[in-house]
Amino acid sequence: MKDTKLWTLHLFAGIVILFLLGLHMGIMHLDEILKIFNPAGGEGIDWQNVLARMKMLGFAIVYILLLGFALYHGFYGLNKIIGEANVKDKTRKFVSLVLTIFGFLLFVFGTYSAIAAKVVSVKW
């Protein structure tokens, strides 16, 4: 894919992350003020709140979307930063490949976790 398209996707991912991570930050870190998606009260990380969110299909979808866009945005940005350093073209390409593979593996792992959490939460 041409770099202009990858760059446009980087910007688009940034906008998506703004909303999805904004929601996540609001739930987890402004829990005392906003009190949303924390039905048991208390902190966002309390197990009863975590379990309640795990049971919602919408949250699994949001987590997977956020995971994908955030990994792409982050690793593309890192790749650009490395590109600014004085490294050889071969090294640059190798690093780019390693970051792509690492990002993909993280996406697979994170997606598996989100789906598994939704599946097992039904039993609890």
Partner 1 sequence: MENKYYDNHLGIKGWAIGGKFSIERYLYTLHRITGLGILFYFILHIFVTSTRVLGQEGWEKAMASVSAPLFRLGEFLVYFAFCFHALNGIRLILLELGFLVGKPIEPVYPYKTSVGKQRPVMIILMLIALIFILIGGYDFFLGGSK
Q: Rounded to whole angstroms, how far apart are CA atoms 89 and 61? A: 38
Work out how close the CB of 37 gets to partner 1 at its nearest, in angstroms, rounded to a whole number. 15
Q: Rounded to whole angstroms, how far apart are CA atoms 80 and 7? A: 10
Q: Spell out, one character per residue from 8 to 27, where the chain touches partner 1: x when CB under 8 A holds, - when not.
A: ---x--xx-xx--xx--x--
SS3 of the chain: helix, strand, coil, percent, to 5: 80, 0, 20
Q: Spell out, one character per residue from 103 to 122, where the chain touches partner 1: x when CB under 8 A holds, - when not.
A: ---x--xx--x--xx--x--
The 8-class DSSP code of residue 37 comes to: S
Q: Does 1 bind partner 1 (CB under 8 A)?
A: no
Contact positions with partner 1 (CB under 8 A) in 34-63:
42-43, 45, 47, 50-51, 54
| Alpha-carbon distances, residue 18 vs 5, 14, 60, 69, 95 (angstroms) | 20, 6, 18, 10, 27
- Residues near partner 1 (CB under 8 A) are 3, 11, 14-15, 17-18, 21-22, 25, 29-33, 42-43, 45, 47, 50-51, 54, 67, 70-71, 74-75, 77-78, 81, 83-86, 89, 92, 106, 109-110, 113, 116-117, 120, 124
